[in-house]
Amino acid sequence: MINLWLIFTLLCAIFDWITIIKEWTIIGYLTKPCVILLLLAWFTSLNGWQSGLSLFGMALIFSLIGDTVLLLPDRFFLAGMLAFMVVQVSYVFGFHGTYTPSQMPALLVGVCVLLIGSILFGILRKSLMEGRVERKLEWPMTIYLLVICMMLYSAVLTLFKEDWMTPAARLAALGGILFFISDTLLVTNRFIKPFPRARLYVRICYHLGQFGLIAGVLLNVFMSH
């Protein structure tokens, strides 16, 4: 699984984080989408498209679109959000293409995710009431919160599926958690309360989350054969 594409992906991600720290804005316009582009190249080099993982490849393509759109002025924020909705839905259907675990783990994971999602929705609703979120974003953000909670649920549930190898499931679950944290930090900084180095923390969690999700599914295929 380790090849030059993986090494290039990791190096590009680290360099992208440095561009945020150093405030190299122009270079950052190139490195941000380049990370996902290289991750897609790594996925393709390991025959991800031929291994029944096409939905995960689609998630990367729409991540690349979303990353590119979000580099544009703020009026394109909604378009970027819609692209990432497709990303989350692709992950959800990708993970649910495998066996369903026993009822109890699924129920416990579902309750935990529902609790987390309810808390976030309450905070978001408060921001809406106080006018810190544009009204046109109210429904898109509510729907996005729903689909990212579904993605988190689907990724964590791999820990309890018989057709998932433990190391791969741990990677996928961790990736889902980090992706969820990334979006939570993004919403918090943008609409609730800004905090120092927010962009850096969002980007690190985002990149590691995407890597964990993709590495998890690829590793599971690799270990199953």
State the Cα–Cα distance between residues 108 and 29, nearest whole angstrom. Answer: 41
Mean pLDDT throughout 19-41? 95
Write the pLDDT tens digit of every residue in 37-55. Answer: 999 999 999 988 987 899 9
pTM of the model: 0.93
Higher-pLDDT residue of 113, 190: 113
Query: Which of 8-17, 69-78, 95-104, 111-120 has the highest average model confidence (pLDDT)?
Result: 8-17
For the chain, the domains span: 4-224
Confidence at residue 133, expressed as pLDDT on a 0 to 100 scale = 60
Confidence at residue 52, expressed as pLDDT on a 0 to 100 scale = 83
Write the pLDDT tens digit of every residue in 101-150. Answer: 667 878 888 899 989 888 888 887 777 666 656 667 778 888 999 999 99
How many helices (H) and strands (E) are present in the chain, helices listed first? Answer: 8, 0
Average per-residue pLDDT in the chain? 90
Confidence at residue 129, expressed as pLDDT on a 0 to 100 scale = 66
Lowest-pLDDT choice from 5-14, 52-61, 110-119:
110-119
Going by C-alpha positions, the residue among 21, 6, 5 that lies closest to residue 196 is 21
Mean pLDDT throughout 165-185? 95
The DSSP secondary structure of 25-78, one letter per residue, reads HHHHHHHHHHHHHHHHHHHHHTTTGGGT-HHHHHHHHHHHHHHHHTTS-GGGHH
Write the pLDDT tens digit of every residue in 199-221. Answer: 999 999 999 999 999 999 999 99
pLDDT confidence tier of residue 87, bands split at 50, 70 and 90: very high
Mean pLDDT throughout 65-74? 92
Higher-pLDDT residue of 96, 86: 86
Confidence at residue 22, expressed as pLDDT on a 0 to 100 scale = 95
Residue 159 C-alpha from the chain's centroid? 18
State the Cα–Cα distance between residues 25 and 35, nearest whole angstrom. Answer: 16
Confidence at residue 43, expressed as pLDDT on a 0 to 100 scale = 97
Confidence at residue 134, expressed as pLDDT on a 0 to 100 scale = 66
pLDDT over 90 at 63, yes or no:
yes
